[in-house]
Amino acid sequence: MSNAPRSAAPGAPSEADAPLACDIFCAVIDNFGDIGVCWRLARQLAHEHGWEVRLFVDDLHAFERLCPALDASRATQTVEGVRVEHWHEPDHAGETLRIADVVIEAFACELPSVYVAAMAERTPTPVWLNLEYLSAEDWVADFHLRPSPHPRYALLKHFFFPGLGTGTGGVLKERDLDAARAAFEASPEARAAWWQRATGGPPPGPEATVISLFAYENPAIDALLEQWRDSPTPIVLLVPQGRISGALARFFGMAAFGAGARGERGSLTAHGLAFTEQRGYDALLWVSDLNFVRGEDSFVRAQWAARPFVWHIYPQADDAHLPKLDAALEHYARTLDAAPRAALERFWHAWNGNAGHAAGAPEGSTAGNTEGNTEGNAATAPDGLNYGEVNWPDLARHLPALKARAHGWAAELALTGDLAGNLAEFAKTQLK
């Protein structure tokens, strides 16, 4: 086995010393979050830190959806300066066994055993990190960067915990992200071009509330669509093709609600959008006044978009996700006044099937009156969660306060630093 000599990546930025080699291993469990996070991290380490990155991914088809430049039929290829290897079987570790300076196993996926054995033989010993899922819970800061010795080899693995507060690994944020958003927001041409491309028409007028909807199947959606239909002001809904599209099709009496679909009822106009390349997703957040996001990576992007958002957290067994939802609210809603804070909590809880924990009744409501509900309205879903009635007017009246907070929160979150930068710093201290 050999430790390949390091060589500078073409066009590698700033760092004076030889670029570090980094291997990232990603097993796609489901959806797009696992590869979404790994791909973003891989690009950042390559482009912003000049590292030579190899990304091992077991499901190239999921990857291709957010990176159309990828050829899912190829075992190995270079995309945007990142070497992508199809991790086609658990013990596969590339054509030649080459151990990187920094080895990242994403979300506790198991590294190839031959690779681990070779890590133990390498001098110097590589930095081994397990990149965990994001959680806003307090314990995360205590566990971040804790070492764990390997039971058989003289190897140490560190747990790298993303988080929303100080003492955690932070969340991913590209160096040019704020500038890209500012440039987009300052350009009516860019905005108009986006609307033309995405919907085939011009942007809506300022009286409309633009909402993007990226979510899992959700029993609360039917009630929400009805409330948007009955809204006193226009609602323009942008729905990337995905797991919630079926509900839109049902609502508009269509066979499907894919890319190019358009539905109109009352005040609600909805557009079906194509699933875009990952970078393109940010622009959807930037054209919207409110974003419904899910999982992990879109949840983070919505925070950087500095707009109000509603999070559909990834549901876990035994409702393990519900404390995580509240922990995120604790950070995000911290400085809000009582009324907008309670409205936000009520809405997030109802959207996540945690209606029993709703923060008091909304102003002017007849709380508990769920009589005559249509299907999906205040329903108990097959997952056993309690999807209470979402209350759009209750949330909508607080959108200006939520918008101000979204700006403040983005600035606060930035203080924790970018995850890729934090990870690179830590790795370098370990390699000294």
Residues noted as catalytic: 34, 296
Which residue in the block uniquely carries the two structure tokens 């590294």?
111
Nearest-approach distance from CB 29 to ligand TRH, in angstroms: 4
Cis peptide preceding 400, ω within 30 of 0 = no
Closest among 262, 247, 241 to 217, alpha carbons compared:
247
Binding part of the chain for ligand TRH, among 24-32, 93-101, 180-188, 217-225 by CB under 6 A, reads 24-32
Length of the chain counted residue by residue:
432
- Residue number with CB closer to ligand TRH (291 or 422): 291
Nearest-approach distance from CB 278 to ligand TRH, in angstroms: 4
44 binds ligand TRH (CB under 6 A): no
CA distance 283 to 276: 10
Contact 204, 197 (CB under 8 A): no
- The beta strands (E) that lie in 135-276 are given as 147-149, 156-160, 209-213, 235-240, 262-265, 268-273
272 binds ligand TRH (CB under 6 A): no
Q: Which of 161, 194, 214, 351 binds ligand TRH (CB under 6 A)?
A: 214
Q: Which of 230, 314, 401, 408 binds ligand TRH (CB under 6 A)?
A: 314
- Residue number with CB closer to ligand TRH (15 or 64): 64
Binding part of the chain for ligand TRH, among 30-38, 254-262, 337-345, 370-378 by CB under 6 A, reads 30-38
CA distance 77 to 61: 14
Binding part of the chain for ligand TRH, among 161-169, 195-203, 271-279, 331-339 by CB under 6 A, reads 271-279
Both tokens assigned to 432: 């000294």
How many residues of this chain interact with ligand TRH, rule: CB under 6 A? Answer: 21
341 binds ligand TRH (CB under 6 A): no
SS3 301: helix
| Region for residue 226 given its phi and psi (left: phi exceeds 0; alpha: psi -120 to 50; beta: otherwise) | alpha
- Residue number with CB closer to ligand TRH (137 or 296): 296
Q: Which of 87, 195, 257, 281 binds ligand TRH (CB under 6 A)?
A: 281
276 binds ligand TRH (CB under 6 A): yes
CA distance 404 to 7: 46
Restricted to residues 369-398, the positions that interact with ligand TRH (CB under 6 A) are none
132 binds ligand TRH (CB under 6 A): no
36 binds ligand TRH (CB under 6 A): yes
DSSP string, 354-366: BGGG--SPPTT--
Both tokens assigned to 126: 């590589």
Q: Which of 294, 346, 349, 398 binds ligand TRH (CB under 6 A)?
A: 294
DSSP string, 409-426: HHHHHHTT-BHHHHHHHH
SS3 39: helix
Closest among 413, 428, 417, 429 to 50, alpha carbons compared:
428
CA distance 290 to 287: 9
Q: Which of 44, 135, 269, 278 binds ligand TRH (CB under 6 A)?
A: 278
- Residue number with CB closer to ligand TRH (86 or 321): 321
Nearest-approach distance from CB 242 to ligand TRH, in angstroms: 6
Closest among 370, 397, 398, 372 to 386, alpha carbons compared:
370
CA distance 330 to 333: 6
Q: Which of 12, 18, 29, 414 binds ligand TRH (CB under 6 A)?
A: 29
Q: Which of 132, 174, 222, 297 binds ligand TRH (CB under 6 A)?
A: 297
Binding part of the chain for ligand TRH, among 272-280, 334-342, 403-411, 418-426 by CB under 6 A, reads 272-280
Q: Which of 298, 354, 416, 422 binds ligand TRH (CB under 6 A)?
A: 298
Contact 144, 169 (CB under 8 A): yes
30 binds ligand TRH (CB under 6 A): yes
Q: Which of 19, 33, 169, 263 binds ligand TRH (CB under 6 A)?
A: 33
Q: Which of 27, 66, 236, 237 binds ligand TRH (CB under 6 A)?
A: 66
Angle at 129 between CA 37 and CA 297, to 5 degrees: 15
Contact 135, 151 (CB under 8 A): no
Cβ atoms within 10 Å, residue 76: 11
Nearest-approach distance from CB 82 to ligand TRH, in angstroms: 15
Which residue in the block uniquely carries the two structure tokens 């010393």?
17
58 binds ligand TRH (CB under 6 A): no
- Residue number with CB closer to ligand TRH (36 or 81): 36
Positions touching ligand TRH (CB under 6 A) are: 29-34, 36, 66, 133, 214, 240, 275-276, 278, 281, 294-298, 314
